[in-house]
Amino acid sequence: MKNNQSEIIGDLYNLLLNPATRDWERSLLRIAKAGIDNGAKFEDQIAKLEAELRPLALRNNLTPDVTDFYLKITNDPLAGSSFDLSAHYQGDGPHQARAIFAGGCFWCMVEPFETRSGIISVVSGYTGGHMDNPTYEQVVGGYTGHVEAVEIIFDTQIWSYKELVELYWQLTDPTDAFGQMADRGSSYRPVIFVTNEEQRQIAERSKQDLAESGRYNHPIVTAIEPASTFWLAENFHQQFYQKNPRRYKKLKRSRQQFLVFQRMQTKLGHGWNRLRKK
């Protein structure tokens, strides 16, 4: 096994203590660690554990941290490909600024921004809640008040904040306060988190312009809230579109089809109203 034995054992111990680990995952991890502690051959115990986890791993149904562990023990090339978070933690440069958007599942909110010139970094995380260091399962369970969001560091010489907000509108349903598309619940509500007064004014003006544009039949309900601590999501969630391209393409296609259908309905509604007035 390429990975250091003591490192794997440390990972097992940490996963056993991790509150996000599911009970059945924890039971398998505990059996493996107990076997190793009792003198069983390390490679045999890890092989048995991998076989037990494999069916759920193939269906992408392990919790994020256990997924990372599974990739490590199978020597998957994605293992250890921890997302580079240096840009997130370091101070912004003279022509850099940040934008934070929540628009449903953050898996679908990274690629539309990250693949554009002038975008320096995009990370997935949780914000707007009342608990420190929330886990994915706590957030989607609705226990923390957080929403899934992305933090974008952008080059202000190439992008204005107003342009980013306008792109955000194109990616989301601003009339749905209770989720986005198939993602339901408070952790998926659409929010623009503003980091200063200038961003707040731009976001408010853009929201008002959208409301007056007639593009939607229903009120624009996307919230505009002050930014608070942005907690990074687990490594499994970072750059999901690259790690799970087939699954991401299905999710992206579903969102796009919904938005196209919604906009078509609005246009048809406007056309019908004009005919009735004649």
Structural domains counted in the chain: 2
Mean pLDDT of 85-100: 87
The pLDDT confidence band at residue 278, using thresholds 50, 70 and 90, is low
What per-residue confidence (pLDDT) applies to 244?
81
Query: Which helix (DSSP H) or strand (DSSP E) does residue 184 occupy?
Result: strand 183-184
pLDDT at 55: 86
Residue that is last in its domain, among 73, 96, 118: 73
Give the pLDDT of residue 275. Answer: 52
Q: Are residues 144 and 211 in the same domain?
A: yes
pLDDT for the residue 75: 80
- Whether residue 150 is found in the same domain as residue 41: no
Statement to judge: residues 139 and 175 lie in one domain: yes
Sequence-ordered strand ranges (E) for 17-105? 96-102
For residue 272, what pLDDT band results from cuts at 50, 70 and 90?
Answer: low
Which residues are CB-neighbours of 146 under 8 A, at least 6 positions away? Answer: 126, 127, 128, 129, 131, 134, 139, 187, 231
Query: pLDDT tens digit string along 105-155?
Result: 999 999 999 999 999 999 999 999 999 988 888 898 898 999 999 999 999
Residues known to be catalytic: 105
pLDDT higher than threshold 70 for residue 268: no
Domain-terminating residue out of 73, 107, 129: 73
The overall pTM is greater than 0.85: no
Do 55 and 131 fall into the same domain? no
pLDDT of residue 78: 55
Asked if residue 105 is part of any domain, the answer here is yes
Pair (100, 205) in one structural domain: yes
> Does the structure show a pLDDT above 80 at 188?
yes
**Model confidence at 159, in pLDDT bands (50, 70, 90)?**
very high
Tell whether 69 and 97 lie within a shared domain.
Answer: no
Report the alpha-carbon distance of residue 278 to residue 264 in Å, rounded: 22
Report if residue 271 sits inside a domain.
Answer: no
My answer on whether 50 and 131 are in the same domain is no
Q: Which domain holds residue 53?
A: 5-73
pLDDT score for 1: 46
Residue 244 domain-assigned (yes or no): no
Can you give the pLDDT at residue 254? 92
Residue 3 has pLDDT above 70, yes or no: no
Query: Does 116 fall in a domain?
Result: yes
If you average pLDDT over residues 88-96, what whole number do you get? Answer: 86
Q: What is the CATH number of the domain that holds 165?
A: 3.30.1060.10
Asked whether 166 and 69 are in contact (CB, 8 A), the reply is: no
Same domain, 66 and 91: no
Are residues 94 and 45 part of one domain?
no
Q: Is there a single domain that holds both residue 31 and residue 153?
A: no
Q: Are residues 60 and 90 in the same domain?
A: no
Same domain for 100 and 215:
yes
pLDDT above 70: residue 277: no
81 in a structural domain: no
Q: Is residue 274 part of a domain?
A: no
